[in-house]
């Protein structure tokens, strides 16, 4: 029964997340990227805690390691993309001769 409830919550969260992100205005993409970077950093901490638990099974450790790698990759690439987007809006100074 617990797995059924978890699957139900996951399906609702996936549908709601898809619909919310799909309807975001292009002007809000940079703040949205910042928010997803914050969520990814929480995921990294959670994955480290789960995989580093003293009595964790081998499966938990392997899945935790995969989660750490995936969330860290998402986090770093999200910050790089956000930085690149913000550089597009900076004023360029004229070149001095």
Task: Dig out the tokens for 17 from the structure.
Answer: 């997340």
37 neighbors 79 (Cβ within 8 angstroms): yes
Give the whole-angstrom CA distance, residue 43 versus residue 46.
Answer: 5
User: pLDDT digits over 19-69, tens only?
Assistant: 877 777 766 766 776 677 777 788 888 888 888 888 888 988 898 899 899
85 neighbors 93 (Cβ within 8 angstroms): no
User: pLDDT digits over 58-83, tens only?
Assistant: 988 898 899 899 888 888 887 887 78
Give the whole-angstrom CA distance, residue 91 versus residue 89.
Answer: 6
Coil, helix or strand for 72?
A: helix
Model confidence, pTM = 0.59
Q: Which candidate, 68, 78, 67, places its Cα nearest to that of 35?
A: 78
What's the pLDDT at 27? 67
User: pLDDT digits over 87-96, tens only?
Assistant: 877 777 777 7
Task: Dig out the tokens for 25 from the structure.
Answer: 């205005």
Give the whole-angstrom CA distance, residue 91 versus residue 93.
Answer: 6
């Amino acid at each position: 029964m617990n797995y059924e409830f978890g699957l139900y919550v996951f399906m609702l969260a996936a549908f709601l997340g898809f619909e919310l992100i799909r309807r975001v205005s292009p002007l809000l993409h940079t703040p949205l990227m910042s928010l997803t970077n914050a969520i990814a950093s929480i995921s990294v901490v959670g994955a480290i805690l789960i995989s580093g638990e003293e009595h964790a099974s081998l499966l938990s450790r392997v899945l935790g390691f995969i989660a750490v790698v995936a969330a860290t990759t998402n986090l770093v690439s999200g910050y790089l993309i956000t930085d690149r987007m913000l550089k597009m809006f900076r004023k360029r100074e004229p070149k001095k001769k």
